[in-house]
Amino acid sequence: MNLTLRKISEDATTITLGWDPPGGAVGYRFTREKANGRYSHTWDGTRSSARFAKDSAWYSVEALGSLAAGRYPDQTPQPTGFLRGHSSHGKSKDDLAHLLAAARLDCYRDDALFENIYERGQGWGSLDARFSTCAAAGIKTFLVIADYGSQDPAVYASRCADLARRYSGHAVRLMIEVWNEPYMPSTYVSPAVLAAMCARAVNAVHALGDGILIGPNLDYIDYPNRSNDYASRFVDAYPSGSARPDFVSSHPYSDPQTIGVRTDDGAGQQQYRFDRILKLRDTLAAHGWTGMPMLASEWGWSSAAVGEANQATYARQGFELLKQWGVIGGFYYTGDRANTNASDNYSQFGILRSDGSDKPAVAAIGQAQA
């Protein structure tokens, strides 16, 4: 939930902020812009004010043992500009500079793999290397999928906060996507559990005050349970009073792929078309989340299914439509190189051939009016 901070007093060197202690608080953690990621804390859960050095643009208070967190002044970060990127599985890191130059893709999406970092003890080295590679290639934004590993809301929120603290102020801007396809059988998280995870993570990341955007990946379809209520159950279960996410991401793949970006009734039901992202936005609004920024974080076409020429046409049209619909950005799947099997549907989503040469989609995306 939000912890509303109010100014009690200030002088030339200090500012004192106050709040109403939330239920369940066992203490508080404090930081500010100029603390460079360092915190101070108290285990007095009844405390209702704190004095800070007056040297920062923002100040943060997090209630320990509670979902409550707040920032002064209260400035919820908002997306700026249209994000043009591609989604990867770590294979396209050597081609980032080329994709930036040829397709104007200056954003990148990849997995954090919390399970590897924490449960398997592999640490942050792999993700550190990808951030460094992105910075060297001129990538502006890295959308990190915070996925796999523990689904305990408190543990998950702590890990998202670790992620945010580690890359706060990095040359490449961090965004956080809460889980990848939690509505699918192999990566399933129940809507109620995902709502609790997301709420805690949003509060934890916002409490850092660094303007890092965070939001869940949703669909209105619950595939394992064969129902059309995943997103609605998520919103209905979202803890009352908690700060909302900064965006909701969608994976608007067309099924069958041959319908391209068609949005007419002859292309089948909307829930299987590229404009499904609009249906998801309408679903969120119907359950009280009006005006939620939408992000198409994974979508694309396989040249094995539609041919290289159509893949290019659909990719260009897709970017154009997303901007037309007011979506904050699109991450095309995928910038990874395809393999040598031209009939391999999964691999041929790649817009680079196995030898690194461009499929026509690279130039088409670069020419897209987005």
**272 and 350, same domain (yes or no):** yes
**355 and 333, same domain (yes or no):** yes
**Residue that terminates a domain, selected from 72, 92, 120:** 72
**278 and 257, same domain (yes or no):** yes
Average pLDDT, the chain: 91
Q: Under the phi-then-psi rule, with left for phi > 0, alpha for psi from -120 to 50, and beta for the rest, what region is 11?
A: beta
Residue 37 in this model has a pLDDT that exceeds 80: no
Q: Across the chain, where does the E strand assignment appear?
A: 6-10, 14-18, 27-32, 40-42, 49-53, 59-64, 69-72, 83-87, 107-111, 141-146, 173-178, 213-216, 248-250, 294-299, 329-333
Q: What's the total number of domains in the chain?
A: 2
Query: Residue 108 maps to which CATH number?
Result: 3.20.20.80
138 in any annotated domain:
yes
**pTM surpassing 0.85?**
no
pLDDT at position 74, please? 65
77 in any annotated domain:
no
Residue 23 in this model has a pLDDT that exceeds 90: no
**174 and 49, same domain (yes or no):** no
**266 and 180, same domain (yes or no):** yes
Cβ atoms of 251 and 299 within 8 Å: the answer is: yes
At 2, the pLDDT band (50, 70, 90 cuts) reads low
236 in any annotated domain:
yes
**34 and 94, same domain (yes or no):** no
**310 and 229, same domain (yes or no):** yes
**Residue that terminates a domain, selected from 25, 53, 72:** 72
Give CA torsion, residues 119, 123, 128, 129, to 10 deg. -100
78 in any annotated domain:
no
At 67, the pLDDT band (50, 70, 90 cuts) reads low
170 in any annotated domain:
yes
Q: Name the token pair of 210.
A: 């660094």
**Residue that terminates a domain, selected from 17, 38, 72:** 72
**224 and 354, same domain (yes or no):** yes
At 369, the pLDDT band (50, 70, 90 cuts) reads low
169 in any annotated domain:
yes
Residue 64 in this model has a pLDDT that exceeds 90: no
Residue 283: count other Cβ atoms within 10 Å of its Cβ.
21
Residue in the block written with tokens 């026509």 = 360
Identify the bridge partners of residue 41 per DSSP, sorted by sequence position: 29
Half-sphere exposure of 335 (CA within 13 A, CB side): 32
**12 and 105, same domain (yes or no):** no
For 171-208, what is each residue's pLDDT tens digit?
A: 899 999 999 999 999 999 999 999 999 999 999 999 88
Identify the bridge partners of residue 85 per DSSP, sorted by sequence position: 107, 331
pLDDT at position 166, please? 94
**43 and 128, same domain (yes or no):** no
Residue 76 in this model has a pLDDT that exceeds 60: no
pLDDT at position 92, please? 67
| Total residue length of the chain | 370
At 68, the pLDDT band (50, 70, 90 cuts) reads confident
**38 and 179, same domain (yes or no):** no
1 in any annotated domain:
no
pLDDT at position 207, please? 87
C-alpha 180/C-alpha 187 separation (Å) is: 7
Which residue range forms the structural domain that includes residue 21?
6-72
162 in any annotated domain:
yes
**106 and 245, same domain (yes or no):** yes
Residue 5 in this model has a pLDDT that exceeds 80: yes
